[in-house]
Structure 1
Amino acid sequence: MEKSNRILKSLLVAAGIGALFAIVPAKAEDASATAAYKDIEATLGSVPDMFKALPDVAIAGAWAEIKGVQLNPKTALDGKTKELMGLAVAAQIPCQYCIYFHTEAARLNGASDEEIKETIAMAGIVRHWSTILNGSQVDFATFKKQTDDVFAAVKAKSQ
């Protein structure tokens, strides 16, 4: 009987601790969401609805990702390049929201109309050849070998 009482006590303590862990992170997430919303507003001038569409537990991480890569001027890629890449992907998804956003962000970062057109054309070329290669089931190992040979020949010509 005493052993079953100890087991019961242990289970109750474990359940209580588990309940605390379930409650505490929710309050921490709420605080991090509040901080993220304040930082978004400070950075962007407002909090667009796209951020409000996320659950509070996700907003701090999503904002950290955007600030750490997309808005960070100290990354390997400059802002214009990142936004043109975003546009190329958006055109392929396709996502009208992303296309609009990344087009305007690319312009804000100095992209010309010609650079925007070329980005979309490159996205189309990549999609076209992806369709051909995948649909034709071209052997990947052979493709890699032939690609390496082409690049070696181009490199040799340029030296």
Structure 2
Amino acid sequence: MASQQAHQEIEEYLGQVPSWMETIAEPASDHSWGLFRDLVLAETELSEREKGLVGLGVAAAIGCPYCTYFHKQEAQLADVSDAELEEAINVASNTRYFSTILHGNEIDHDEFVAETDEIVDYIQQQEAAPADD
């Protein structure tokens, strides 16, 4: 259970202390709340929209119905459209799909990095090239 101070802070932010937060072991409860508060609820480098979409993509990829529901609600609070939610899930699925291929085939990491760097350089050159009239 979180300390009295953390308990009050959670209620201020969320209107209640969710029951699942009560299951976090004593040594980690205040720290866990701090991580959640500072990364999910606080102003950070990522916008609320971006955090919601990243969270939803990860939640969908790991198959967590709790996190999927939470991050979908989080994204909708940030005015993310249904089409954007669907695309975020599809991007996550695409990443997981290709990760399975790369890991399952034991692709050499150094070769993968070198090829990716070459591809990025090529794309940057294409974008910087003047358009033919």
**What's the TM-score, normalizing by structure 2?**
0.91
1:120 and 2:97 aligned: no
Matched residues in 2 for 1:42 and 1:55: separation?
22
Q: Higher relative CO (CA 8 A, sep ≥ 6), structure 1 or 2?
A: 2
Unaligned 5+ runs, structure 1: 1-29
Higher share in helix = 1
Equivalent in 11, 27, 32 of residue 41 of structure 1: 11
Q: Which of the numbers 12, 23, 26 marks the counterpart of 1:56?
A: 26
**2:3 match: secondary structure:** helix
User: What are the within-5 Å matches in structure 2 for residues 4-153 of structure 1?
Assistant: 33-73=3-43, 75-153=44-122
Consecutive unaligned residues of structure 2, counting only runs of 5 or more, are 129-133
* Distance (whole Å) between structure 2 residues aligned to residue 42 and residue 84 of structure 1: 25
Deviation readout 1:11-50 (Å, 9 max, x if unpaired): xxxxxxxxxxxxxxxxxxx8x6111011101111111111
1:122-145 per-position Cα deviation (integer Å, ceiling 9, x unaligned): 011001100111111111111111
CA-CA distance at 1:57 after TM superposition: 2.8
The one-letter amino acid paired with 1:119 is A
CA distance in 1, matches of 2:11, 2:28: 17
2:131 aligned partner: none
RMSD: 1.3
TM-score by length of 1: 0.77
Sequence identity of aligned pairs in percent? 34
